[in-house]
Amino acid sequence: MEPLTNLAECTPDELEAAVAAIGAPRFHARQIYRWIHRRGVDRFEDMTDLPRDLRAELGARFRVETPRIAADATSSDGTRKLALALADGRQIEAVFIPDTPSMTFCISTQVGCAMACDFCLTGKMGLVRNLTAGEIVGQVRVLAKATGLLGEPFNIVLMGMGEPLHNYDATMQAIRMLHEPDGLALSPKRITLSTVGIVPALERLAAEPLMPNLAVSLHATTEEMRTRLVPPNKRYSLHDILDVCRRFPVRHRSRITFEYVMLDGVNDTPEDAKRLVTLLDGIKAKVNLIPLNPAPGIPYERPSDDRVDRFAGILADRGLTVMVRKSRGRDIRAACGQLIVEGGTKKSAAQVMANLIR
Ligand code: SAH
């Protein structure tokens, strides 16, 4: 038997087609989209404004998949990390970061990640698989329900597990589905896409009608150092990434965020800070310094606050807007680069897990 179509993956148009295919009036599609995406309801029998016989018919023909909360941990600072189980049993993590000052959901786009950044725990897993658009959107629904924020304003950062531009189509489809007026009607201005900088995908993104805010993980000021820390740099160099950024259609009064993880004694010298200023010249940029969140298996240290402040000071003195990202949720391993779940493909992931479980 064919598996039932999962309506959580459908755009409103696709939902209309699905509804029409079972001989029901098309306008019910909008109601169903609202139930799923705006109210977080995934049982057809609970969609109470639909005729009873239609609910039964929908239940027999379709399903609505929502990631299931497999673990739920709250940090002493209020950050909350959910481990979410997908239909195939794979797991991902999604994080709620309150009062930043806004409410922020940190969402995954892949199970694992292929980028293999040297300081990132998720990178040690390797890529297990891409998430579907429905799975990306589903995380938002689950977080919003779990935190009581369904219907309230919140921001989304695509900074969980995975590289969003390495799963381009599903990521952009998710942004469109979140924007639907019958869904959460979320403005793309409330979404930040963070990427290592995959040049052809950045070029594609530059032409998107629904444009999220862009954050680029820079992390180094020379090609050599960046290739060591962020292996995709071999193919998509610092130079080429900054070139796209220089031409990127940045919204009025907006800027590209450049993320810079600070590794003690590696990329955090005053010379690095000065080079960074030169590199970003002519780009509408702001810099987000992320002092390393250390983890077992990660061969770097977090610099002292003094070192971070000195680096930030050099940027600020030369007119760059700079923020130091406060590390949140470290006690529950919810901080940047600390998201990892079992089932990774690489041996090193198993070793890392063994260290963590210890
Ligand atoms: N693949 C996307 C999203 C990754 S997570 C990207 O690379 O941008 C968001 C940020 O956390 C990235 O800038 C990433 O480099 C950073 N990060 C990864 N591991 C980290 C760690 N251990 N400590 C601090 N930041 C880390």
Query: Closest residue (by CA) to atom 5 of ligand 1?
Result: 159
Q: Considering the chain, tell me which residue range(s) the CATH 3.20.20.70 domain(s) occupy.
A: 90-353
pLDDT tens-digit map of 190-224: 999 999 999 999 999 999 999 999 999 999 999 99
Give, in order, the Cα–Cα distances in Å from 297 to each of 120, 186, 267. Answer: 9, 38, 19
* Centroid of ligand 1 to alpha carbon of 57 (angstroms): 45
Pairing of strands 80-85, 68-74: antiparallel
- The pLDDT confidence band at residue 4, using thresholds 50, 70 and 90, is confident
Residue located via tokens 């240290």? 301
Rounded to a whole number of angstroms, the CA Rg of the chain reads 21
Average pLDDT over residues 351-356: 38
Locate CATH 1.10.150.530 in the chain: 5-63
5-63 sits in which CATH class?
A: mainly alpha
Instruction: State both tokens at 70.
Output: 């497999």
Q: Among candidates 260, 282, 330, which has minimal Cα distance to 117?
A: 260
Share of the chain above pLDDT 70, in %: 94
Residue 59 DSSP SS3: helix
SS3 letters across 149-175: CCCCCCEEEECCCCCHHHHHHHHHHHH
Distance 117 CA to ligand 1 centre (A): 8
Atom index in ligand 1 nearest the CA of residue 160 equals 5
- Place domain 90-353 in its CATH homologous superfamily: Aldolase class I (3.20.20.70)
pLDDT of 356 strictly over 80: no
What CA–CA distance (Å, rounded) separates 190 from 59?
A: 34
Residues with a catalytic annotation lie at 93, 336
